[in-house]
Structures are given as structure tokens and as C-alpha cells.
Amino acid sequence: MEKFNMPKEPKLLIFDIDSTLYTCPAYAHEQIDSQVRHYAELNGMTAEEARKKVADFRKKWAAEHGGKKISLGNLFTHFGVSIETSIEWRKTLFEPADYLKKDERLIETLEKLKSRFLMTCVTNNPVEPARKTLDALGTSEFFKTIIGLDTCMISKPSKTILDRAIAEAEKDCGSKIGYENCVSIGDRFDIDLDLAIKLGMGGILVNGVEDLYGIEI
């Protein structure tokens, strides 16, 4: 775990979901690979050909953008797959409950955090599969709001998404929340933390849910 620019008075914790609130390499892989396989099928390619196309694009993108990573949703737009299409794929191609189960240690951790902070989720999955993921983990009650791919029709990283997360939290608490009162928590620095930190938020980089158990903020 690494912490960056941690605020003196944190009010809002903005959680990524996948590979942050759970550790399941098989499910993390399937979410990506199921979409790549589907793209291959639709375009008369083998799965291996599509995987190579994606990998080659990621490598090229990183080389042209200072080593940064690109989300799968944004990557697919370069292949002619719209965000709207990605949303529909993500709603049907994988099922969280097939891979995930209730996590009592995470529930205990979130109960303690909920007593001190507002909490929301920001994810590059649509709201529907994201909510199913939280349901499978037994943590849905802790997150009234999920900002998903279909909320703003934009993939992370995006200031619009972070601003929407803050605006929804402000509605719940009835008071102003500044960037300096927020902490973004995720497993990918380029996607989950870099922009948030540049805006003035704190950031916590995790390697999986194990880093969250008993976390001190």
C-alpha cells in the first residue's frame, strides 16, 4: 500500500471496485478477456489475434503517453467500439457471483470507515454489474451511490466522474466537499489516483483487498 497527499480533514472516500474491494485474479482477467473474445467473434478474429491487438495497442499507447495505462473502455473506442457498446457488453458477458463471495473482513473494515467518512464507488463498469459485485461481497449497504461507466458515459480517468462523485456525496451530507477533503482508493495509479492527486485529493494505492483490512485513514 502507498499513500499520497493525504488530507488533514478527509470527508469522502472514493473507492474503485475491481481488484480493490476484492482480490480475484481469475475474475479480473475474465472481465477483460470476455470482452476481447467477444470483440474477436464479432470481427472474424481468433481470440489470440484480438488479445495481441489489444496488447500491441496498450504497448504503443504507453510509449506515446509517458508509460501511462489506458482503460479497456477507452482502448476499445480506438477500435470503433463505443462506450455505449462497452456498457452493454459489460452487463452481459460476466457474472460477479460466479467468482466472488461475502467478505466478512471487508465488511468489518467498511463498517468502521462508514462511521467516520462518506463513501462512494467510482468504477469503469456500468452501475448494474458494479452493484452485483458489491452484493456478492456483502458490501452493497455501505455504498448508496455508484458512479459507473453509464453514469457519465466516460471511462476513468476523468475529472467529470470525480466531480460527479463529489456532487452526489454533497447531496447526501448537505455540505460542501472540496478536493482536499477526498481520498481516492484504487489498484491502478494511472487510472484511479493520478488525476485525483493532481486535483488535490489524497490517494491510496492498494494491491488488493488485503491492503484495506483494518486500514487507518
**Mean pLDDT per 10-residue interval, the chain, length 217 residues:** 96 98 96 97 98 98 95 96 96 96 98 97 96 98 96 95 97 94 97 98 97 94
Distance CA 5, CA 205 (A): 12
Q: What is the pLDDT of residue 137?
A: 98
Distance CA 81, CA 79 (A): 6
Q: What is the pLDDT of residue 45?
A: 97
Q: What is the pLDDT of residue 115?
A: 95
C-beta separation of 155 from 50 below 8 A: no
Distance CA 203, CA 3 (A): 6
SS3 for the chain, per residue? CEEECCCCCCCEEEECCCCCCCCCHHHHHHHHHHHHHHHHHHCCCCHHHHHHHHHHHHHHHHHHCCCCCCCHHHHHHCCCCCHHHHHHHHHHCCCHHHCCCCCHHHHHHHHHHHCCCEEEEECCCCHHHHHHHHHHHCCHHHCCCEECHHHHCCCCCCHHHHHHHHHHHHHHHCCCCCHHHEEEEECCHHHHHHHHHHHCCEEEECCCHHHCCCCCC
